[in-house]
């Protein structure tokens, strides 16, 4: 993989841009994974109750979107991951609105 940052000595700290990008990838992947688990948990809780079928489905679809965002964030596509996280949370929130 090509790296745009200049090479550095093994004992030196990486350049600032590299550490910021690495932190952004970790945050995007971690947030996506956390929201995926929350969405799947909420989907299972709603599925076991007497809620209409669209509510657990909305949580599951939102969780799938957040899982895709975690994968994209891990690969360094943090801007797309952010938009998928927003879309996933919106699907979860709108799916639970009363009809």
Distance separating alpha carbons of residues 72 and 68, to the nearest angstrom: 6
Tell me the pLDDT tens digit for each residue of 32-88: 999 999 999 999 998 888 888 899 999 999 999 999 999 999 998 999 999 999 999
- Going through the chain in order, the beta strands assigned E by DSSP cover none
Place of tokens 């489905």: 57
Q: How many C-beta atoms lie closer than 10 Å to residue 39's C-beta?
A: 25
- Over 90: is that where the pLDDT of 9 sits? no
Q: What spatial distance separates the first Cα and last Cα of the chain, rounded to whole Å?
A: 49
What pLDDT is attached to residue 20? 85
Distance separating alpha carbons of residues 97 and 82, to the nearest angstrom: 23
pTM comes to 0.79
């Amino acid at each position: 993989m090509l790296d745009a940052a200049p090479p550095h000595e093994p004992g030196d700290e990486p350049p600032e841009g590299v550490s910021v990008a690495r932190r952004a990838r970790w945050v995007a992947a971690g947030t996506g994974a956390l929201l995926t688990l929350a969405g799947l948990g909420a989907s299972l809780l709603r599925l076991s109750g007497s809620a209409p079928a669209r509510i657990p489905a909305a949580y599951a679809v939102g969780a799938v979107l957040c899982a895709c965002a975690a994968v994209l964030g891990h690969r360094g596509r943090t801007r797309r991951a952010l938009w998928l996280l927003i879309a996933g949370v919106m699907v979860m929130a709108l799916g639970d609105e009363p009809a």
